[in-house]
Amino acid sequence: MTLSALHRNETKTALTEAPFDLIVIGGGITGAGILLDAATRGLKVCMLEKHDFAYGTSSRSTKLIHGGLRYLKQLEFGLVHEVGSERAVVHKIAPHLVLPEKMLLPLSGGKSTGYWLTSFGLSVYDWLAGVRKEDRRMMLTRPQTIKAEPLLNTKGIIGGALYTEYRTDDARLTIEIIKTACDHGAVALNYAEVKGFINEHGNVQGVECVDGLSGNVFQVKGRVVVNATGPWVDQLRLKDGSLEGKRLHLTKGVHIVVDHQHVPVRQAVYFEGPDGRMVFAIPRDGKTYIGTTDTDYAGNPEAVVTKSEDVEYLLKAVAHAFAVSSVSIQEVESTWAGLRPLIHEDGKSASELSRKDEIFESPSGLLSIAGGKLTGYRKMAERVVDQVVEKISNEGENVFGDCVTDRLPLSVSYPDLENFFQAKESFLNNPEFIAQKNLAHRLMHTYGMSSQKILDQSRSLISSDPATALLEAEVIHCIVSESVEKLSDFYVRRTGLLYFDLPKVAATLDGVLKVFSEQLNWGEDRIQKERSELTGLINDALFGTS
């Protein structure tokens, strides 16, 4: 079914008309993966999300499809193998969103693992992850390391290593997976909060929902319900009356964004902070983003924000690792804070907790999945759907297909890498982009094959200049094809502009509001409400420095 804000009423009707094989609660990367896997196996499946798709952890990660090198130190070989192997799979099915990124790991005498032990560890990492020959680790001498990244503070450097990770846009990846699932018959609705469960003879057979935009209450019936709500998993288990045994352990991660000129790294760097914790510095679109922190969080998952002490911690890490002029807190352009929904283990600190996922089944039959990593979303989904299929098959004669998501390109992706690179070259060389290559590059790596449709749409709009027309066409596309209902959906999770180009948000707000008003029939009250909500998000991103 089409993922469109213009067809919200039709989507709600489809949700209430007939029972589903599977109801997925939670519109993050885990729920998206489950939705797609189930739909492509032939299950009648739907998704309900309290906020916008990718609202929580899935738009606030380090934005890497990475192999979890740190988990090798914890001897979690199975996890390293799984997530390492999955990098290549996700790159193959979404090459416009998952981009190879060379990562430099500087090594310091007396602080980091020894040079030769690191060399051996990375070799094991390459082997476990099935890394392609051209992407395998390369050990560097001290001079080679300093040449590779002249910005490094050279004191104590004994050498380094170059290895390959993959950079992504976590929210875009989530959206594209959901869109692909809808292309295969799934139904998905954002701003649909599950308030309770429908129980029949002690078994969960559906959910009670409230439309967060209209306030309307409705029911959705289903044979199996999966709770994939990330940091909110235990809240749903509490509603089900099954919050016992293992519980979540939430940890907060913060990232900061500065202009690239302040931390002009040549490539991504994975470095030690002054307290020994590992931190990333990653160049992207004229900026450098730095993170992450890892601290226990016991507050409301709805209210996780960046604090000035989080920012100061990361700035100290930068000053420790790089020979740069001190980056002031005022030079931080934006931030984001997110939660990791880990599984509690007594006696372990936030950084020591395993990133493994687990599935819990309550006496009512509710399945809940917690833990895991962005990189491993597809295998997590496969395990959940395997269990769902087994439950349904035990109740009747249903026959469903096998998992095919490892070889299914996302709907706006390309059949293969060669096809993608040809299309990208053609799009970037379009005469209309001669003076704005960066814009063309952003469109291609945001929307894939839909980029051309957005460009075509812009030609039909009457605007002051081509760049304005393109942005307006982008907004229309997101409303019509990606269920954008609010300003924040567009600026945060569809484009990332609030994180990586905050000045553009202010510069384009009036024009973007005009498009929303025309497309969704907003009145003055709704316009002011949206302005106010966006202002609040901007203040959060600026952690009170505005």
Quickly tell me which residue has 């100061």 as its tokens. 312
pLDDT at 234: 94
The burial of 390, by beta-carbon neighbours within 10 Å (0-12 exposed, 13-18 middle, 19 or more buried), is given as exposed
pLDDT at 1: 81
pLDDT at 372: 84
Contacts of 388 (CB under 8 A, 6+ apart): 21, 22, 38, 43, 224, 226, 367
pLDDT at 211: 98
Contacts of 214 (CB under 8 A, 6+ apart): none
Give the residues across from 164 on adjacent strands.
102
CB-based contact 358:236 (threshold 8 Å): no
- The two tokens of residue 355 are 């990133």
DSSP 264-331: --SSEEEEE-TTS-EEEEEEETTEEEEE---EE--S-GGG----HHHHHHHHHHHHHHB--PPPPGGG
How many angstroms separate the CA atoms of 174 and 496, rounded?
A: 13
- The two tokens of residue 151 are 């910005």
Q: What is the pLDDT along the chain (546 residues), one digit of tens a residue?
A: 889 999 999 999 999 998 999 999 999 999 999 999 999 999 999 999 999 999 999 999 999 987 666 666 666 777 777 777 888 899 889 999 998 889 999 998 765 557 777 788 788 777 776 777 877 889 999 999 999 999 999 998 999 999 888 899 999 999 999 999 999 999 999 999 999 999 999 999 999 999 999 999 999 999 999 999 999 999 999 999 998 888 899 999 999 999 999 999 999 999 999 998 999 999 998 999 999 999 999 999 999 999 999 999 999 999 999 998 889 999 999 999 999 999 887 667 666 666 678 999 999 999 999 988 898 899 999 999 999 999 998 776 677 999 999 999 998 887 777 788 788 888 877 777 655 667 788 888 899 989 889 988 988 887 778 788 889 999 999 999 999 999 999 999 999 999 999 999 999 999 999 999 999 999 999 999 999 999 999 999 998 664
Contacts of 456 (CB under 8 A, 6+ apart): none
- Asked whether the bond before 335 is cis by omega within 30 degrees of 0, the reply is no
pLDDT at 72: 66
Q: Delineate the domains of the chain, giving CATH numbers in brackets.
A: 5-57+171-247+354-407 (3.50.50.60), 99-167+249-352 (3.30.9.10), 417-541 (1.10.8.870)
CB-based contact 338:231 (threshold 8 Å): no
How many angstroms separate the CA atoms of 455 and 449, rounded?
A: 11
**Which residue type is seen at 173?**
L
Contacts of 376 (CB under 8 A, 6+ apart): 79, 82, 83, 86, 357
> Can you say whether the dihedral through the CA atoms of 413, 282, 289, 266 is positive or negative?
negative
How many angstroms separate the CA atoms of 12 and 62, rounded?
A: 34
pLDDT at 543: 86
Q: What is the DSSP letter of 152?
A: B
How many angstroms separate the CA atoms of 83 and 247, rounded?
A: 23
The burial of 14, by beta-carbon neighbours within 10 Å (0-12 exposed, 13-18 middle, 19 or more buried), is given as middle
pLDDT at 18: 85
**Which residue type is seen at 325?**
S
Nearest to 158 by CA among 103, 117, 108: 108
- The two tokens of residue 346 are 């007594």
- The two tokens of residue 7 are 């067809």
